[in-house]
Amino acid sequence: MAEAQALRAVLEKFPGQQLLVIGDVILDRYWWGEASRLSPEAPVPVVRRRRSTTRPGGAANTAANLAALGARVDLVGVVGEDPEASELKSALAEFGVSGDLLLPEPGRPTTTKTRIVALHQQIVRVDEEETAAIADATAARVLAALEERLPHAAAIVVSDYAKGLLTPTLLGAVIAAARAAGIPVLVDPKGTDYHRYTGASLLKPNRLELGILAALPARDHAETLLAGCRLSAALPGTSVLVTEGADGMTLFRDSQVLAHTESAPRQVYDVTGAGDTVLAAIAMALGAGAAYPEAMQVATEAAAIAISLTGTVAVTLQHLQAAFPAAPPK
């Protein structure tokens, strides 16, 4: 593992970075309650709701994580004309992220995931969403908003949840605009078509996503090495960082394995949003001038913190500073 002091120096450069996030925003709603009996109507628990909370999810969670790590964030996405859009903007405001660039599309709901949790266990999740592609007029508004903020950004972070925002045409225009401006593009991908991400600086799939993109199984580390080499060979010049859960994460480029980092041991309570946390930490570490091995160490620790907490969480700069304490005075 890289020296804690070197990583601490990386963290000191986190505050003040300006990043632009585009992707599928989600409202994560939680109903917290107690379950002490089964329903007489069906073999399911009866949950007595005690409280409810909301959190930014999807690309909004990536933006919240970046803000919690000290970044100034512009978030571009699409929501509905509904109360959930207002709830999402309020949830983002708690992290200091503006919802002004969340553009409404008439007739489209704000993507909402409602999780019912009892005794720290998720009982069921209910999704409200529309995954069809956004209208061309909406895509034009999204691109215009992004291009307006592009001159202020050190990097673009793309969070693809396959909810209809990132059409091939829009995604291609985003990557082209960033490349023309000399700005790196970091992507959390979805789906089978890796061609959509051609020209991106970094792709960050997990094993399942890697297997789908590479059309190869990636069930363990050995299979991940083969699939990662194939995918990186198909995307020349793009780094591919694969998160492997308990097996850490592995970096590929141009069909070669460049680095591997072991996972940081933690008790796993909830993996919700951990991928967003990794993407945010990688973006911040690279923006702070870290090499990939150092950035992967920071992201591994951030992921370990995220999965040790319940619900969609934003890992803070203070969390990471506690993981890499300053050296005691001599």
Q: Print pLDDT tens along the chain (330 aa).
A: 447 788 888 999 999 999 999 999 999 999 999 998 999 999 999 999 999 999 999 999 999 999 999 999 999 999 999 999 999 999 999 999 999 999 999 999 999 999 999 988 899 999 999 999 999 999 999 999 999 999 999 999 999 999 999 999 999 999 999 999 999 999 999 999 999 999 999 999 999 999 999 999 999 999 999 999 999 999 999 999 999 988 999 999 999 999 999 987 655 444 555 788 899 999 999 999 999 999 999 999 998 888 776 555 678 999 889 888 766 555
Nearest of 208, 218, 191, 188 to residue 299 by alpha carbon: 188
Q: How many helical (H) and strand (E) elements, i.e. helices and strands, does the chain have?
A: 10, 13
Tokens at residue 148, please?
């307006």
Could you give the CA distance from residue 172 to residue 151 in angstroms, rounded to a whole number?
18
* 3-class DSSP assignment, residue 27: strand
Residue-wise burial string across 28-59, b where 16 or more C-beta atoms lie within 10 A, e elsewhere: bbbbbbebeeeeeeeeebebeeeeeebbbbbb
Q: Give CA separation, 61 vs 55, 77, 129, 257, 323, in Å.
A: 8, 12, 17, 29, 21
For residue 193, indicate whether it is catalytic.
no
Instruction: Report the pLDDT value the prediction gives residue 222, as an integer from 0 to 100.
Output: 97
Contacts of 8 (CB under 8 A, 6+ apart): 321, 324, 325, 326
Could you give the CA distance from residue 216 to residue 224 in angstroms, rounded to a whole number?
9
Could you give the CA distance from residue 267 to residue 120 in angstroms, rounded to a whole number?
13
Residue-wise burial string across 191-228, b where 16 or more C-beta atoms lie within 10 A, e elsewhere: eeebebbebbbbbbbbbebbbbbbebebeebebbbebb
Q: Give CA separation, 299 vs 132, 231, 264, in Å.
A: 32, 22, 10
Which pTM value belongs to this model? 0.91
The label of the residue with tokens 């985003």 reads 174
Interior angle at CA 161, CA 155 and CA 165, nearest 5:
75
Nearest of 259, 239, 138 to residue 187 by alpha carbon: 239
DSSP state of 249: E
* 3-class DSSP assignment, residue 130: coil
Residue-wise burial string across 293-317, b where 16 or more C-beta atoms lie within 10 A, e elsewhere: ebbbbbbbbbbbbbbbbebbbbbbb
Instruction: Report the pLDDT value the prediction gives residue 145, as an integer from 0 to 100.
Output: 97
Alpha helices in 215-273 (DSSP H): 221-234
Beta bridge partners of 112: 27, 128
Q: Write down all domains in the chain, each with its CATH number in brackets.
A: 4-27+55-112+129-323 (3.40.1190.20)
